[in-house]
Structures are given as structure tokens and as C-alpha cells.
Amino acid sequence: MAVTLFLEVPVRTTLGGVDVATEFTLPAGADYLAFRFIANDGKLAVSGADGVDIGAAYETWDADVRAQRARPRPEAVHPANETVSVFLASATGSTVVETTAMRRGL
């Protein structure tokens, strides 16, 4: 299920099965995504679709590590509202991910 994030509001989401992508939409003004996969490793992709396999172009992140990922390139921006999506999935089993859309200097 797709998740819409708001600036500076932490959200915990249970991800589905292994490699099943969940779309996270960052609002206009968000410079980066702060995130942490809890208990199991996770994957992050800047392209994909909600509820399908994450695909081959992804980054792997260790469990229980606080991480940050810069806002994806401008071609990934939804022109109607300046939002941008990233796709997160569990790498080894169902897991929870904690996410926050952040702005520089906050």
C-alpha cells in the first residue's frame, strides 16, 4: 500500500513479503529521506510500482542502521505537484521501516 509522507513526520510501515515494493511519496520541499529498516535488511529503488517486485535496480541497506537518501533526480519528479516517489522493500522477510521526509537545515 502506497504511503504519502509529510515533512518532519516520522512514519512506521510494515512492508510486505520479500522484494514486494511499497511506494513512499516525498512531498515538495523534501530534500532527502531518513529511514531505518527494523529487524531485517531492506531495499530502496527510485523507480518501480507499488505492490510489485522491486526490480533489479535497487540499493541494499542493513537492518537497524539509520540511513539517509537524497531526493531522486528531477526526472523522477511528478510534474503536477512536485512530489517524488521512492520504493522500499524487505530483503529477507517482512519487516517494519521507519521513514521521515526531511529538509536540509532542520
Q: Which domains does the chain have, with CATH numbers?
A: 3-102 (2.60.120)
pTM beyond 0.75: yes
pLDDT band for position 99 (cuts 50, 70, 90): very high
- Which DSSP letter does residue 92 get? S
Tell me how far apart the alpha carbons of residues 18 and 11 are, in angstroms, rounded to a whole number.
20
Whole-number percent of the chain with pLDDT over 70: 92
| 6-43 pLDDT per residue, tens | 999 999 999 988 999 999 999 988 999 999 999 999 99
pLDDT at residue 64, rounded to an integer: 96
